Amino acid sequence: MQQFPAIPDSLKIKSGSGTHRQLVDNLIIVLFLFPALTLFLIFVAYPIFRSVYFSMFDWNGLGPAVDFVGLQNFKDILTDEVFLKAVKNVLLIIAFSIGAQLPLALALAVMVGRDLPGRAIFRTIFFMPYILSEINVAIMWMLLYNPDPDRGLLNAIAVHFRGGPIGWLSDPKLVLFSVFIALTWKYFGFHMLLYLAGLQNIPLEFEEASRIDGANSVQNFFYITLPLLGSTIKTSVYLSVLGSIQQFIMVWIMTKGGPVNASETLATYMYRFGFVRFKLGYGSAVAIYMFILCLIFSLIYQRLTRQPDYLTGL
């Protein structure tokens, strides 16, 4: 601070170390990015190209892929009723999620609010299912859905009120709904958490001001809270849709996509062809369709919001 004569020296050192600094920076860039980039290129980026290649073959995985079929796999998929059923089911799950799961999460988040005594405990409880493994949650719900009313709680209730058991996981009309209930049980807490964080960012003054202006809590919610929560809601919808497109383990464990493909999703469809029937070329084509679907949806989302929250981190 007080060494005035030192200033020219420090300037000199600075310019002298400038190239040194540049060298260090370049080294940092190369060395720090190397591990991430290597793993990413080998296991995330390259597989995309690899599967584009295999998607043009009729290949059972034994020996090299030689049976070139061009775009036939892509055409076959689009005319397969089971695939269309899977697309329809994914769209239904998305619709259920946006129509029921997210509003439930939002309602609970608004109710937990800022100052409710015990809010931390409720948050902990509501969020707990999210951290349990999918396989364990699937098995828990299979216990509840057990077709035998002497063993499955939900059917015991059904017998009590309706006089007969319900085929939660065996009735093709009901199975997707049953799976969705289990998915909601597991995932609504995550969305509630997002909304709670979003609510925390809304300045308290806004609500106070509107209250002073005579707004009741319903008006407050629709004219103040909801619009200000817009970007959080968009993020939550985005993550929910991406999650629905790739939903796999819970469905596979609970129903294997059945009965008669009634709960088939895109991921179970791909897994069946890739790892059960060993039609690897066909399975690759399904994977590419799913990737394109995720990509198109993300691009639309970014275009619509102009603020890709999740993508920019903070």
Partner 1 sequence: MPKSPLIPRRARKFLQRFIQYLIFFIVAAIIFTPLVILVFGSLKTTGEMYSHPYTIPSPPHWENLRGILSTLTFWRLMRNSVILMVATTGGVVFICGLAAFVFARLEFRAKGWLINLFTLGLMFPINVAILPVYFVLRQLNEMGIHLIDSLVGVILVQIAFNISGNTMILRGFFTAIPVELQDASYIDGCNNFDFFWRIMLPLAKPALAAVAALTMIVSWNDLLVPLVVLNSERLWTLPLGTMQFQGQYGQDLALVSAFVALSSIPTIIFYIFAERQIVSGLTAGAIKG
For 192, other C-beta atoms within 10 Å of its C-beta total: 27
Among residues 43, 163, 303, 306, which is the contact residue for partner 1, using CB under 8 A? 43
Among residues 71, 143, 276, 304, which is the contact residue for partner 1, using CB under 8 A? 143
Kindly write down the DSSP assignment for every residue of 133-148, as one continuous string: -HHHHHHHHHHHT-SS
Among residues 96, 168, 180, 271, which is the contact residue for partner 1, using CB under 8 A? 271
248: contact with partner 1 by CB under 8 A: yes
d(CA 306, CA 301): 8
Specify whether the CB–CB gap between 172 and 244 falls below 8 A: no
Residues near 61 by beta carbon (within 8 Å), at least 6 away in sequence = 278, 280
H helix intervals, the chain: 6-40, 46-54, 72-79, 81-96, 102-112, 119-131, 134-144, 153-162, 175-200, 204-212, 217-220, 226-228, 230-245, 249-255, 266-271, 280-305
Q: Which two tokens stand for residue 38?
A: 């290597």
Q: Closer CB to partner 1, residue 5 or residue 173?
A: 5
309: contact with partner 1 by CB under 8 A: yes
CB of 8 to partner 1, least distance (A): 16
249: contact with partner 1 by CB under 8 A: yes
CB of 74 to partner 1, least distance (A): 15
Residue 202 DSSP SS3: coil
Going by the DSSP 8-state scheme, the letter that residue 56 receives in this structure is T
Residues near 161 by beta carbon (within 8 Å), at least 6 away in sequence = none
Among residues 11, 78, 91, 135, which is the contact residue for partner 1, using CB under 8 A? 135
CB of 237 to partner 1, least distance (A): 11
Stretch that binds partner 1, among 78-86, 193-201, 220-228, 256-264 (CB under 8 A): 193-201
276: contact with partner 1 by CB under 8 A: no
Place of tokens 């049953």: 178
Q: How far lies 221's CA from each of 67, 211, 216, in Å?
A: 60, 11, 9
Among residues 93, 134, 264, 269, which is the contact residue for partner 1, using CB under 8 A? 134
Q: Closer CB to partner 1, residue 135 or residue 226?
A: 135
Residue 68, phi then psi, degrees to nearest 5: -70, 125
Number of residues that bind partner 1 (CB under 8 A): 98
Among residues 73, 101, 225, 235, which is the contact residue for partner 1, using CB under 8 A? 235
124: contact with partner 1 by CB under 8 A: yes
221: contact with partner 1 by CB under 8 A: no
Stretch that binds partner 1, among 78-86, 94-102, 166-174, 227-235 (CB under 8 A): 227-235
Stretch that binds partner 1, among 72-80, 85-93, 172-180, 238-246 (CB under 8 A): 238-246
194: contact with partner 1 by CB under 8 A: yes
Q: At what angle do helices 102-112 and 175-200 cross, to 10 degrees?
A: 40
